[in-house]
Amino acid sequence: YFGQDAERLLSWCKDASGSRIIEAIISSPHVPKRTKNRVLQGYVGRFVDLAVDKYGSHVVDSCWAAAGIEFKEKIVGELVRGEARLQDSPFGRTVLRNCGAEQYKRRADEWRQRERNIEKRKRVFKDIVGSDAPAASRRPAKDAAKSADEIDVLFGATQQLAALGATAPTKIETAGDKSLQAVADALAGTKRKKAKAKAEPEAVQAGATEQAKAKRSKKEKDAARKDRRAFAR
């Protein structure tokens, strides 16, 4: 993953299947913060381009949810500078609203305080209900390379993203994040459902055609029978 050029990463974010896998990586509690930061840093300067795309806008939302306040300010600052382009896109307008861009433009200090309060509420909530993977965020830095390898396994298993539209990965040979496997399974299931949904109308149409032919054949036989009777008389 980290060995890919920026343009390829951008194309993955704008792909229906690729964007969902990248979102799963960014939001996964099993991927260390350092690794996530590397992923997020790779999209600096590209957030406006992503925000106006149907699938890329969801990646921006995931980056926003995973970022700290300092990085969020980088994102919103970039979005504000590209606001004219974003306002022309329904996806861009939604991203601007989600990031509180209007408040940031008018009262940046209030925006920062709002984000700090949001982060504080998140920490309090985690302390009360606990976390599904409490040790994940405290994983030693040496494990970052292992998680990066797991990301590469996901992307390279069937070269799905490189092909942009090829068969979704069906097996992730790693003991890492189960949510990534779930996403891959969901992608495969979605493709099967689409194929089935496409096949069913075709089958119905074929059956209707056969029924119509049978009715026409019966009518023709009845007409021929009447003609023979009339001739015999």
pLDDT above 60 (res 31): yes
Task: Compute how many other C-beta atoms are within 10 angstroms of the C-beta atom of residue 213.
Answer: 10
Of 109, 136, 148, give the one whose Cα is nearest residue 25. Answer: 148
Residue 93 amino acid letter: R
Least confident of 5-14, 51-60, 133-142: 133-142
Through-space distance between the first and last CA atoms of the chain, rounded to whole angstroms: 86
Pick the residue with more confidence: 17 or 202? 17
What's the pLDDT at 54?
95
**Residue range 206-223, pLDDT digits in tens:** 666 777 666 667 767 677
What's the pLDDT at 23?
92
What's the pLDDT at 123?
73
**pTM, whole model, 2 decimals?**
0.59
What mean pLDDT value characterizes the chain? 74
Q: Cα–Cα distance between 45 and 114 in angstroms, integer?
A: 24
Q: Cα–Cα distance between 112 and 219 in angstroms, integer?
A: 79
CA 117 to chain centroid, in Å, comes to: 28
Least confident of 137-141, 142-146, 162-166, 206-210: 137-141
Residue-wise burial string across 101-138, b where 16 or more C-beta atoms lie within 10 A, e elsewhere: beebeeeeeebbeebeeeeeeeeeeeeeeeeeeeebee
Evaluate whether 98 touches 116 at the Cβ level (below 8 Å). no
**Residue range 52-98, pLDDT digits in tens:** 999 999 999 999 999 998 999 999 999 999 999 999 999 999 999 99
